[in-house]
Amino acid sequence: MGEKNAPTRKHKLIEYANGPSLEEINGKIEVPKDIGFWKTLFAYSGPGALVAVGYMDPGNWSTSITGGQNFQYLLMSVILISSLIAMLLQYMAAKLGIVSQMDLAQAIRARTSRALGIVLWILTEFAIMATDIAEVIGAAIALFLLFHIPLIIAVFITVFDVLLLLLLTKIGFRKIEGLVVCLILVILFVFAYQVALSDPNWGAVIAGLVPNAETFSSSKTVAGMTPLTGSLGIIGATVMPHNLYLHSAISQTRKIDHHNADDVARTVKFASLDSNIQLTAAFFVNALLLIMGVAVFKTGAVKDPSFFGLFQALSDTSTLSNGVLIGVAKSGILSVLFAVALLASGQNSTITGTLTGQVIMEGFVHMRMPLWLRRLVTRLLSVIPVLICVMLTRGKSAIAEHEALNDLMNNSQVFLAFALPFSMLPLLMMTDSAAEMGHRFKNSWWVKGLGWLSVIGLTGLNLLGLPAQVEGFFGDNPTKGQLSIADNIAWVLIVAILALLLWTLVELYRGNKRYAAKLSAAK
């Protein structure tokens, strides 16, 4: 604590920042020693919940439900594989933050040039905005469905979630973690309740967890989707680049004695357990969404996979699979619970998206602004395309409006495919390095092997799915000329991604070599 008469420094709206990651909460949460395993785990629990939110945000919903509608339980294995990869990547992200005392953005910037730092910052900002578009759409639709608020007004109301953020910043980070956990439990309860009523074939569910040759097949087409495109959609909606930046920052909120390697190791251990437990909950949410597509609805009954269509299908007795569901649906509870879960998901993402934006701004370009202003700017920019979409479809049929919003949400995900390699590869390179992590905390051989397999596989699948994502900008029935244009754009993007990736890797490699030489000279 400073002296009472010490002058208080006036903060500007935008300031230079080159200190600890999320300085206001960095190392502020005390963790008592020798309190037993479960109490210690509880003390470390929380950051994993904020990370898990990104794995069950509104962008995941339609891909999982549609995958179940079209291919039954075939894509369950894709959800499982994506979740396991997420656990591995988030473990490395948390470890990087705890051991190096830098978040991922700071670590990349410290090893690269200012020019590359600005490029990567802009790229990651676009990815955050793409995620925010899905949150705006999800929250606005939830308000429309629950309270019949016109969509344009509902979109504007989502801007005022900055007031919620202002309130949360006053109550302390530990309480924010608790609130996020509660909202996750609401989402989990809603879908578990609906699936329990549907009485799915649990043997088929378990069998679907094992991948086979058909899982990534491109020969079988159902409703315009192949298992490959369904798998790519689930993977693309599951592994989010901003989560790696976020976790590397909020893993540093616990107070650690960095001169004590055992204390650091304990923090890594419990942060990893927290992350894995919360990501297991995210896996169950996504699995329940896919099971909903199979067991709650009759096969092929959901013609409109948008949030409007799913809400309608849950109150339409002709689309539901059994008498129990039909009886409950008549009360309207199934559709209302769905909308409540959608609103909870959007509010959860509000908190995590704002924190991530602050992390990458401070890390890449050393700029800081108040969280409320950061949220306001990001949300206003994300609202613009949603408002344009709503206004362009005014006067048209409700289905046209619903399809336009759904297409906007799906098309915005192209930026996630673009940005993902630039978070995964640097993360892997740094946690593989003894210079960065020390010999005790660098990746073991099996983590290193699985890490490279996951990163190369995810990057390859994202690039493979990029042409289809670009084609989505031309609507459901593009002409041959439009398909040709889309493919050309996709190839330009792929070349740009690979060139930028090469630039990043070269600078990181050289920066790591300089850092290792500096450490050797200091000994």
CATH code where residue 43 lies = 1.20.1740.10
**How far apart are the C-alpha atoms of 193 and 187, rounded to whole Å?**
10
Cα distances from 516 to residues 111, 378, 396, in angstroms, run 11, 38, 62
Cα distances from 150 to residues 144, 163, 178, 380, 392, in angstroms, run 6, 21, 32, 18, 15
**How far apart are the C-alpha atoms of 285 and 308, rounded to whole Å?**
20
- Residue 122: phi and psi, rounded to 5, are -60, -45
Give me the sign of the Cα torsion angle 139, 145, 146, 150.
positive
Helix, strand, or coil (residue 225) = strand
List the structure tokens of 498. Answer: 């690979």
Q: With beta carbons less than 8 A apart as the criterion, state whether 112 and 363 touch.
A: no
Residue 197 falls within a domain, yes or no? yes
List the structure tokens of 60. Answer: 């995941």
List the structure tokens of 280. Answer: 């297991």
**How far apart are the C-alpha atoms of 199 and 325, rounded to whole Å?**
10
- Residue 424: phi and psi, rounded to 5, are -70, -50
User: Can you give the pLDDT at residue 4?
Assistant: 45
Cα distances from 324 to residues 198, 226, 329, 407, in angstroms, run 7, 32, 9, 33
List the structure tokens of 18. Answer: 């080159």
Q: With beta carbons less than 8 A apart as the criterion, state whether 217 and 348 touch.
A: no
Structural domain that includes position 481: 35-518
**How far apart are the C-alpha atoms of 445 and 448, rounded to whole Å?**
5
Place of tokens 């978070």: 423
Q: Which residues are registered as beta bridge partners of 320? A: 297
Residue 523 falls within a domain, yes or no? no
Cα distances from 99 to residues 7, 91, 278, in angstroms, run 34, 12, 22
Residue 123 falls within a domain, yes or no? yes
Any idea what the Cα angle at residue 361 is, between residues 355 and 365, rounded to 5°? 160
**How far apart are the C-alpha atoms of 29 and 48, rounded to whole Å?**
15
The total domain count for the chain is: 1
Q: Left if phi > 0, otherwise alpha if psi is -120 to 50, otherwise beta: which for 32?
A: beta
Instruction: Say if residue 152 is exposed, middle or buried (CB neighbours under 10 Å; 0-12, 13-18, 19+).
Output: middle
Long-range contacts of 397-405 (CB under 8 A, 24+ apart): 398/308, 399/304, 401/151, 402/304, 402/306, 402/308, 402/309, 403/304, 403/306, 403/476, 405/137, 405/141, 405/306
Name the residue type at position 413. Answer: Q
End-to-end CA distance of the chain: 35
User: Can you give the pLDDT at residue 506?
Assistant: 93
Strands 367-368 and 15-16 turn out to be antiparallel
User: Can you give the pLDDT at residue 478?
Assistant: 81
Name the residue type at position 90. Answer: Q
User: Can you give the pLDDT at residue 106?
Assistant: 92
Instruction: Say if residue 41 is exposed, middle or buried (CB neighbours under 10 Å; 0-12, 13-18, 19+).
Output: middle
Helix, strand, or coil (residue 483) = helix
User: Can you give the pLDDT at residue 2?
Assistant: 42
User: Can you give the pLDDT at residue 35?
Assistant: 84
Residue 19 falls within a domain, yes or no? no
User: Can you give the pLDDT at residue 244?
Assistant: 93
Residue 23, C-beta contacts closer than 8 angstroms, at least 6 positions apart = 17
Place of tokens 């640097």: 426
The per-residue DSSP string of 319-337 comes to TBSSHHHHHHHTTTHHHHH
Q: What is the mean pLDDT of each run of 10 residues along the chain (523 residues)?
A: 46 68 83 87 90 80 82 91 92 94 91 91 87 83 90 84 66 79 87 88 92 82 78 77 90 90 93 94 91 82 78 84 81 88 78 82 84 77 84 77 77 75 91 88 93 88 80 78 89 91 92 81 70
User: Can you give the pLDDT at residue 3?
Assistant: 41
Q: What is the number of alpha carbons within 13 Å of residue 476 lying toward its C-beta?
A: 9
